């Protein structure tokens, strides 16, 4: 079996992130995982819930993401909600930290995927949407859907 360069297989996506945040900038990161977490991810058992990135002592940690326990792990089980260290370059971490502190942005996970046999996480710098912004997005989406339906019925 040969590896194809750049082949991506999506494990899970955080659909709520696009609804709750205006996503500005995207970054790819690796994660420090245990064996049972990797096997659980291969089965697609992940929930982003209220996941976000927390910075401590110059390191980045993924918090609030639930990776379900792997049934066949035996005694080598992992804690489903534990904080997971992210693998980023120091300058990437510093840049994200500065933006989060200054501009009131949040770093949220948007999707997790396999890339060249490794598990990668896509992070997004997001600005929280207000309730009226979300309502506006819903109205715009409804208008687009209605116009597409009208055009389809005429054609």
SS3 per-residue string spanning the chain: CCCCCCCEEEEEECHHHHHHEEEEEEEEEEECCCHHHHHHHHCCCEECCCCEEEEECCEEEEECCEECCCHHHCCCCCCCCCCEEEECCHHHHHHHHHHHHHHCCEEEEEEEEEECCEEEEEEEEEEECCHHHHHHHHHHHHHHHHHHHHHHHHC
Residues spanned by the domain of 18? 9-129
CATH number at residue 52: 2.40.280.10
Q: Is residue 153 part of a domain?
A: no
- Predicted TM-score of the model (pTM): 0.78
Q: How many structural domains does the chain have?
A: 1
Q: Is residue 148 part of a domain?
A: no
4-59: per-residue pLDDT in tens?
556 889 999 998 888 888 888 999 999 999 888 888 899 988 998 889 999 999 99
């Amino acid at each position: 079996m040969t590896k194809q360069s750049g082949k991506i297989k999506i494990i899970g996506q955080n659909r709520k992130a696009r609804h709750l945040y205006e996503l500005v900038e995207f970054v790819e990161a690796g994660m420090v995982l245990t064996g049972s977490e990797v096997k659980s991810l291969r089965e697609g058992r992940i929930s982003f819930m209220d996941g976000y990135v927390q910075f401590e002592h110059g390191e980045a940690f993924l918090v609030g993401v639930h990776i379900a326990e792997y049934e066949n792990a035996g005694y080598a089980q992992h804690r489903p909600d534990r904080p997971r260290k992210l693998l980023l370059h120091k300058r990437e971490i510093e840049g994200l930290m500065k933006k989060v502190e200054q501009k009131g942005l949040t770093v949220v996970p948007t999707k997790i995927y396999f890339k060249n046999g490794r598990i990668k996480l896509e992070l997004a710098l997001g600005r929280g949407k207000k309730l009226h912004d979300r309502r506006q997005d819903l109205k715009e989406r409804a208008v687009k859907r209605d116009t597409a339906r009208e055009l389809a019925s005429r054609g």
